[in-house]
Amino acid sequence: MLRDFVYNDGTRAVIDMSALNQVGFDPVRKAWFVDAGCENWTVYRTLLNGFGKTLPAGSCYSVGAGGHITGGGYGLLSRLHGLTVDHLTGVDIVTWDALSRQARLRHVSEASSDGAERDLFWALRGAGCGNFGVIARYWFADLPDAPDHAALLTLAWNWSDLTEDRFAGLLHLYAEIVAAMPESDFSLLKLNHVAAGQIGLIYQSVSPPGTTAADHRLRVAGQARMLRSRLGAIAPTSPLLRPLGGHPGMMTTLPASENENHLTYLEALQTLNGSGPNQFGKYKSAYMKKGFPADQVAAIHHWLQTVPEGVAASDMAQSLLQVDSYGGRINRVSPTATCVPQRSSIMKLQYQTYWNNDSTAGMPLSPADRAQEEAHLGWINRFYAAVYVRTGGTPDPARDPSGTVDGCYFNYPDVELGSHARGDVDHALRLYFLENFRDNPRNLVAIKRHWDPEDYFHHAQSLPVR
């Protein structure tokens, strides 16, 4: 769990939401519902098997829907169907009334007669995580049909074959491909640390409604030829040596540069599940509206070959920068329609590092374990700061005259961006929400002040009331 987000030394209780785990269709409301205690996998499987529907949500299927949805929610169908919150039409939430000193369960939506409830619903579409109350259920008046067909392709490159120029060429071309790819396609460029031996690309293509299997296969074959030809011309591809996805599925057994794999949609979900074993980890995020500038490419190349002091090179094999495709339908929504403002970005970046040790849960770390933690955290924080040195060490669009970066993702909370404890939480929240934080007529600070004036719902990066 996340210290000072989910718990801290003063925590007296943690609410277990796992019993609120129903997914279905309500004939009275004529809407689908997802309980906040569900995991993504429960949501996917129930909607698919029971209704032929899906959500454009995340690929890590052990993630709880409660936080994932209200924080924005995106995944491998988001270029085709938008963000999860773009489909949200109602929320059941328990709020705290400071005057009556009572909790109240209320249903809020765009159709609420109370303007304050409409504002709350707007805020819950991207900023609900621990800010306004306890969410119990999400409602969707309509949901996308699940694809009938899916295909996956992987390409891999050995680090030994990648000069710095070739590496730069791949990043530049990848941004071009992402900007032009069909909305039914999604890609993950996994820029693994050199300790992993390879970097790789996972490319998913699903069938739009009404597409036959034959037509889907024909289009996928064309996309695969294009990717192999254009990317392979920059650097030779190689058979995949280890899984690029989190789940040990079909993609681990076939050469990475030879075949696209045709799967059912359920099989594609299973193969690209990003939930790995329980371990320590750190995430950082960034949005990009255009391709990588040369100085960012150089910094990325350098830090993916840097091993922090006191850590064995092999321990960095799980550290990477993952570059997700973005855009598509996401970009056809106004930045003020929900409180998620990044509606012009074409890529979304996930900086990641993971490590394991024998520490006991709930006990202080040993000096060796603490040193290991500090080494990994130091590496990823310095990596991030080096990439964004021109914008003050973070992807701050207010300091970027080139219009390249576009802030950070609230669902990847990063205390290094700012916190209440350090007195600089506004910096973090501006990166997450840009003008929707304080500046726009409808803004999150004003909504927080109305619904939680005593700051009852508080964590390291919760919205301030002033």
d(CA 9, CA 356): 23
Domain finish residue from 399, 419, 448: 399
Domain with 108 in it: 1-146+437-466
pLDDT tens readout for residues 377-395 = 999 999 999 999 999 999 9
**CATH assignment of the domain containing 99:** 3.30.465.10
> Beta strand 320-325 with 280-288: parallel, antiparallel or unpaired?
unpaired
pLDDT band at 424 (very low <50, low <70, confident <90, very high): very high
Same domain as 175, residue 93 = no
- Can you tell me whether residue 380 is helix, strand or coil? helix
Same domain as 142, residue 159 = no
pLDDT for the residue 258: 57
β-partners of residue 151 are 205, 262
pLDDT band at 455 (very low <50, low <70, confident <90, very high): very high
Residue 177 has pLDDT above 50, yes or no: yes
Same domain as 130, residue 225 = no
187: tokens are 């890609």
pLDDT for the residue 247: 41
Same domain as 164, residue 179 = yes
**CATH assignment of the domain containing 356:** 3.40.462.20
Q: Cα 343 to the chain's mean position, in Å?
A: 15
Look up tokens 């034959």; give the residue: 214
Neighbours of 1 (CB within 10 A): 7
pLDDT for the residue 10: 79
Same domain as 68, residue 186 = no
What average pLDDT score do residues 89-115 get?
Answer: 96
Same domain as 35, residue 77 = yes
Residue 357 lies inside a defined structural domain of this protein: yes
Domain finish residue from 341, 370, 399: 399
Number of domains in the chain: 2
Same domain as 115, residue 223 = no
Residue 407 lies inside a defined structural domain of this protein: no
Size (the chain), residues: 466
Same domain as 162, residue 128 = no
| pTM, to two decimals | 0.95
Helices 444-451 + 115-124 axis angle, to 10: 120
20: tokens are 């609120």
pLDDT tens readout for residues 60-86 = 878 999 999 999 999 999 999 999 999
pLDDT for the residue 201: 96
- C-alpha distances (whole Å) from 185 to each of 188, 274, 326 are 11, 18, 10
Residue 417 lies inside a defined structural domain of this protein: no
pLDDT band at 2 (very low <50, low <70, confident <90, very high): low
Residue 426 lies inside a defined structural domain of this protein: no
Same domain as 140, residue 161 = no
Same domain as 283, residue 239 = yes
Residue 293 has pLDDT above 90, yes or no: yes
Contact 218, 178 (CB under 8 A): no
Residue 382 lies inside a defined structural domain of this protein: yes
Residue type, 419: S
pLDDT band at 272 (very low <50, low <70, confident <90, very high): confident
What average pLDDT score do residues 267-281 get?
Answer: 79
User: For residue 381, what is the DSSP state?
Assistant: H
Contact 451, 133 (CB under 8 A): yes
Residue 418 lies inside a defined structural domain of this protein: no
Domain finish residue from 377, 399, 421: 399
Q: What is the DSSP string of 292-312?
A: PPHHHHHHHHHHTT---TTS-
Same domain as 267, residue 184 = yes
β-partners of residue 324 are 188, 348
Same domain as 343, residue 322 = yes
pLDDT tens readout for residues 126-153 = 999 999 999 999 999 999 999 999 999 9
More confident position, 244 or 79: 79
Residue 410 lies inside a defined structural domain of this protein: no
Neighbours of 364 (CB within 10 A): 9
What average pLDDT score do residues 271-276 get?
Answer: 72
Residue 409 lies inside a defined structural domain of this protein: no
Beta strands in 1-89 (DSSP E): 23-26, 31-35
